[in-house]
A and B are shown apart, each in its own frame.
Chain A
Amino acid sequence: MVEKPDTNREDAGPRASAMSMSDLDAWFAREVLPLEAALMQFLSRNWRNASDIADLRQDIYVRVYEAAQKEMPLSAKAFVFSIARHVMVDRVRRERIIPIEAVADLDSLGAASDEPGPDRDVIARDELRKLQAAIDRLPPRCREVVIGKRIQGLSRHEIAAQMGIAPDTVSAHLTDGMCALADMLYGEEEKRS
């Protein structure tokens, strides 16, 4: 990555980011990831091709992080949605194969940062229910492995012995479970029953 000196920035002083990468990682997990459900909803409303969305999100995250390395935003939410908008517009311009109607209405994206996404209190309150629902929704074998590892603190060999399966199968279930938990925890709107 090439850092361009940003000569236009006048208020650089107090907000200039001098954070270490691990601080930035923590900021990202704390401020950006909880916005993921709202972001995914925003993307799927505005981007017709659902199979692009995971890639779009990845691009958005990379750009958010890069920009935060230079300067920490005051509001993570406005920042993330404004970058999301740019990423979508960029894609439409760069990849001519995407017909213009792939993006519902580029101009209307301007309202994105005012989206009534979840506020942090609500996130905290729902998180416990989300976690439990997420665990309950894992496929049975996968859930059993995740519970053994995360809740009972068993090693992969202990789980393998208890379930009568190979350690590599345990690892595969665990990897699946970790991916699924991240998606359910961050990426999905809560489904209320």
Chain B
Amino acid sequence: MTDAHAEAAHSKADARDVERRAASWLERRQREDWNASDQAEFDAWIGASLAHRLAYVRVDAAWSRAEWLKDVHPLVSQSAPRRKMFSPLLLRVAATLALAAALGAGAAYYFGRPRDRIYSTPVGGHEIVAFADGTKIELDTDTVLRARMTTKSRTIWLDKGEAYFQVKHDASHPFVVIAGDRRVTDLGTKFLIRRDPGRLEVALMEGRVRVGAEGEKSQSALLKPGDVITATASTVFLTEETHTALARELSWRRGVLVFDKTPLADAAREFNRYNSVKIIIADPAVASMTIDGTFPANNSEAFARVVRNALGLRVERHGDESVIYR
């Protein structure tokens, strides 16, 4: 064995070169034009030394494991600098817009007075509504909003759910969003409002907005970009978020949920907003485990798979529930 080893040591190129050649073979083998003579050449190379074989096994194993990323990185657009690669997403958005136009703006239908329109999304839905003034509103899952656009003012009622507003500012036509007992007045801006039972969150991405109690102009706060206001029945607090945290808040616009050391209980709650199959975690030890990653919001299967593979938990499906156990 020592002789064979010494011989291998002499015949081998630098280990780094071998690794690079192994990767190069792996790359070639995935081309469409891979043929019998390529295969013969490859067999000769891999048979020439165990060092070759193991370098190949290693790079091949790493590449196969990277397939996991398919589950968690369906779009991966936040880290990729060029948008071109993600044309499928852009096409989907374009299709949504086209459909919205064709249907007379999404799921809208006339409601009572002619100028009030209701826009809604089902669980797992995502709609973009483009208004004539250039304003765009994106509705997240399970959301209902009403819009009243008149020649004097623009008023939106967010009845439930979450929406992202990109408002074409026009001082002569104030844009106001009313969510329960709060009022958000646009002063030229992009902002997010999420309304859960008993809780309202307003996050400002760009420009300025004023947030106050509905019907009462005196008590209001002027938000600057990065500010997030969270209001419950009894409390209102303001936090400043980083750019990254804000981007995460908006990840649903790309159809994904982004977790960063997020407890499984919270991750499950997020998934359950988007899916009719609900994830149930009864065990507090499991609920407090944390997870990272970017997941397709509408694919709790992928989430379950990652939970199984990465955290070693068991996932059982019972009817409309996916129960996670240790």
Is A155 within 8 A of B81, CB to CB?
A: no
Interface size on A (CB < 8 Å)? 55
Tell me the bound Cα distance from A33 to B19 in angstroms: 14
B62 interface residue (CB < 8 Å to A): yes
Please, which residues of chain A bring their CB within 8 A of the CB of B8? 62
Please, which residues of chain A bring their CB within 8 A of the CB of B285? none
Which 5 A-B pairs have CB atoms at the shortest separation, nearest pair first?
A182-B62, A29-B61, A58-B15, A178-B23, A54-B15
Interface size class of B (residues with CB under 8 A): 35 or more
Q: Enumerate A131-168 residues with CB–CB distance to B below 8 Å.
A: 131-132, 134-136, 140, 143-144, 146-152, 155-156, 162-163
B72 interface residue (CB < 8 Å to A): yes
Residues of A contacting B: mostly:
helix
Q: Digitize A37-77: 1 where CB-to-B-CB distance is under 8 Å, 0 elsewhere.
A: 00000000000000000110111011101100000000000
B79 interface residue (CB < 8 Å to A): yes
Measured CB to CB, the residues of A under 8 A from B are 1-2, 4, 21, 25, 28-29, 33, 54-55, 57-59, 61-63, 65-66, 90, 94, 121, 124-125, 127-129, 131-132, 134-136, 140, 143-144, 146-152, 155-156, 162-163, 171, 174-176, 178-179, 181-182, 185-186
Is A124 within 8 A of B309, CB to CB?
A: yes
Measured CB to CB, the residues of B under 8 A from A are 1-6, 8-9, 12, 14-16, 18-20, 23-24, 26-28, 30-32, 49-51, 53-55, 57-63, 65-70, 72-74, 76, 79-82, 84-85, 291-294, 306, 309-312
Given the interface pairs A125-B312, A128-B293, the reply to whether A28 lies near B73 with Cβ below 8 Å is no
Residues of B contacting A: mostly:
helix
Is B73 within 8 A of A128, CB to CB?
A: no
Residue of B55, B59, B60 most packed against chain A (CB within 10 A): B59
Is B53 within 8 A of A25, CB to CB?
A: yes
Partner of A143, one of B6, B59, B80: B80
Is B312 within 8 A of A59, CB to CB?
A: no
Is A147 within 8 A of B57, CB to CB?
A: no
Please, which residues of chain B bring their CB within 8 A of the CB of A54? 14-16, 19
